[in-house]
Amino acid sequence: MKLTGAQILIECLKEQGVDTIFGFPGGAVLNIYDALFKAKDDIRHILTSHEQGAAHAADGYARATGKVGVCIATSGPGATNLVTGIATAYMDSVPMVAITGQVPTTLLGKDSFQEVDITGITMPITKHNYIVKDVERLADIVREAFIIAKEGRPGPVLIDICKDVTAAVTEYVPKVPKKPEEASLGVTEDEIDAAADAINKAKRPIILSGGGVSIAGANEEVFELANKALIPVTTTLMGIGSFPGTHELFTGMVGMHGTKTTNMAVSESDLFIAIGARFSDRVISDVNRFAPNAKIMHIDIDPAEVGKNVAVDYPLVGNIKKILKRLIAKVEKKEQSDWKNKIDEWKRLYPLKYPKDDVLRPNYIVERLYELTKGDAIITTEVGQHQIWAAQFYKFKSPRQFLSSGGLGTMGYGLGASIGAKLGRPDKKVINIAGDGSFRMNCNELATAVEYKLPIIIAIFNNHVLGMVRQWQNLFYDGRYSSTNIDRGTNFVALAEAYGAIGIDVRKPEEVDEAWKKALASKDTPVVINFEIDKDDKVFPIVPPGAAISDLIEE
């Protein structure tokens, strides 16, 4: 059948099972929006307040559901407004297809109105990108883009489409979507045998479960390996939820804001098993003093990550789930472990703690949320102290429960992500834990949440400062608080109400439960809770920059 490029794009999206798109219209995508209008019974378009919000919403939708998130923007500033969201998805391996409009082919390269080389700009932050100048190639490019976004290590793909291509007419032939090719299992039986032997002989092993475990759906295999061989488990920030936070083998997070138990265990381990993790600087700190007594085993789908930051003794590259299944079959079952007993003692001696007094503490706020939601909510965060408090004090049980910008550290991520998560998982309570600094950056997306009647909760930990930066200035810059005071008199409750959301103010510990219960009871209206906390509450533990992870500051 003969269709326009815009219609072909929509038909290809329908082929791929896309039911939701986040975006903002403009001149270069008018043909696409016209086709979207006609397809509104098949694809829901969510009009965000800003293109960055659309990218973060597509990201949150993808993380919460495991599907490919889709966002759309016009050319020029519309396209560049997606860049931070695309980079966020790239750093955290999130499958996304970003569609941008471009000026007509006859105007390319002429500094035309709203023209920008978005493929050039996004080349370093996408798995692949395209500029479509020929309608004959459009369908194949869209289909290929979804394959690339999903297969192997996932990530964002950008499709830039010239406006005249969306108006041109050609033959469209429907196709059944191809399934992404599974990563080849290049691991030999000898390598599996050597890895299993290392695990069986290890006296002090520890597993690091990273974000790749959740992406691969390999959390059950990590659970089985840990329980069979009685191996303690830690996670990266991105790996939170890939192993139950309530399990006796869980030691807490690792690295800069890891627990003392975990960082001591890593430092004393004789075998460090990293699964789906990339050895970020926030995990290893001083590489020369990271796990100094341990052999390193690294299981990952991306060969570029193995040996990149840390020398590896047992590299196992390929499909994590399949590798773990083969490994588990050869690992010996352990009934008891002196190493586990030692770590249990450390957990007893060095728990995460905070002052228990009549001051409103962020740690307490998160603990009460955990209790009231029974650990079953999806938590998104912005970036800063509140992000770490959420990671430390909410016990995540499942993958795709904790959505946070780990690699890029994007302030302003969480609100858009919570919108995407709620639309993707309407059955779940979705709470965005924010700092006042982060919330200001994209608070305009409250209008989106109100418009679509999304009962998300935004919990602002309002200390009137840029908390994490101030903490560093306090600890490492002799208290020189340069440009971190943001006490501008903003009334967040009034702001919420101006948007049409519910606003709640909390200043005392005894008000916390009532606020959470009221917010959790909302059926179709977003709720903003302004928690007034002290500007000098700090995140502990913290590893000073350049120190070994065992040299942490506890309080």
Which candidate in 14, 15, 67, 114 is catalytic? 114
For residues 239-250, average pLDDT: 98
The neighbour count for residue 509, using CB atoms within 10 Å, is 16
Residue 114 among the catalytic residues: yes
* pLDDT recorded at residue 183: 64
Fold classification of 362-532 (topology level):
Rossmann fold (3.40.50)
* pLDDT recorded at residue 180: 79
The neighbour count for residue 270, using CB atoms within 10 Å, is 16
Which candidate in 37, 38, 113, 171 is catalytic? 113
Q: Which DSSP string do the residues of 337-350 spell out, in sequence order?
A: -HHHHHHHHHHHHS
Residue 473 among the catalytic residues: no
**pTM for this one?**
0.97
For residues 132-149, average pLDDT: 98
Please, which pLDDT band fits residue 555 given cuts at 50, 70 and 90?
A: confident
Q: How far is CA 401 from CA 209, 398, 432, 518, in A?
A: 15, 6, 12, 22
* Helices 338-349/260-268 angle, 10° precision: 150
For residues 361-376, average pLDDT: 98
What 8-state DSSP symbol labels residue 297?
E
| Segment 192-221, tens digit of pLDDT | 999 999 999 999 999 999 999 999 999 999
Which candidate in 11, 22, 51, 473 is catalytic? 51
* Dihedral in degrees, nearest 10, Cα atoms 513, 518, 520, 523: 170
Please, which pLDDT band fits residue 11 given cuts at 50, 70 and 90?
A: very high
474: helix, strand or coil: helix
Which candidate in 256, 264, 411, 468 is catalytic? 468
Mean per-residue pLDDT over the chain, rounded: 97
What 8-state DSSP symbol labels residue 444?
G
* Dihedral in degrees, nearest 10, Cα atoms 55, 57, 63, 65: -130
| Segment 452-494, tens digit of pLDDT | 999 999 999 999 999 999 999 999 999 999 999 999 999 999 9
Same fold, 2-171 and 189-349: yes
| Segment 253-281, tens digit of pLDDT | 999 999 999 999 999 999 999 999 999 99
Strands (E) located in 48-163: 69-73, 96-102, 128-132, 156-162
Contact (CB, 8 A) for 239 and 276:
yes
**Domain-wise residue ranges, the chain:** 2-171, 189-349, 362-532
* pLDDT recorded at residue 181: 75
* pLDDT recorded at residue 196: 98
For residues 6-16, average pLDDT: 98
For residues 99-115, average pLDDT: 97
CATH code, 189-349: 3.40.50.1220
CATH architecture of the region 2-171: 3-Layer(aba) Sandwich (3.40)
Residue 163 among the catalytic residues: yes
pLDDT at 510 over 80: yes
The neighbour count for residue 478, using CB atoms within 10 Å, is 7
pLDDT at 142 over 70: yes
